[in-house]
């Protein structure tokens, strides 16, 4: 990977609202896009991922979409809950076989 931009850096929502985090990348060889959730004081945990041959993937309240033409992918969390509060990192793997991480988004869900 070369460069991954992640926005926003902070996202504050009310419980029950949806949250969307977006990442853009530059390496056209990128073919794997995982998302990690890191709670305070804990390790990053893989929550969902998508490969370049798929446009969308869902797992309960979490979904990821990928637009290879525009080189961006997004994490969507619906019906947010306070326990969704954490820092979320996007990443991409490409031809270099070394993952590149975004800067992270601090999601705060207010009860």
The residues binding other proteins (CB under 8 A) are 32, 34, 36, 42-46, 49, 89, 91, 97-99, 101-104
Measured from the CB of residue 91, what is the shortest distance to other proteins in angstroms?
8
- For residues 103 and 111, what is the distance between their CA atoms, to the nearest angstrom? 26
Given the complex with other proteins, which of 104 and 109 has the nearer CB atom?
104
Interior/surface letters 34-72, b for 16+ CB within 10 angstroms, e for the rest = bbbbeeeeeebeebbbbebeeeeeeeeebbbbbebeebb
- Which lies closer to other proteins via its Cβ, residue 17 or residue 46? 46
Minimum CB separation of residue 69 from other proteins in Å reads 24
């Amino acid at each position: 990977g070369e460069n991954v931009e992640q926005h926003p850096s902070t996202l504050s929502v009310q419980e029950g609202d949806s949250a969307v985090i977006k990442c853009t990348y530059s390496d056209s060889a990128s073919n794997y896009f995982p998302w990690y959730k890191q709670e305070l004081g804990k390790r990053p945990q893989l929550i969902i991922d998508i490969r370049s041959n798929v446009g969308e993937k869902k797992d309960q309240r979490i979904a990821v979409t990928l637009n290879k033409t525009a080189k961006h992918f997004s994490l969507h969390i619906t019906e947010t809950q306070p326990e969704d509060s954490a820092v979320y990192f996007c990443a991409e793997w490409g031809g270099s076989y070394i993952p590149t991480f975004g800067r992270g988004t601090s999601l705060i869900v207010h009860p």
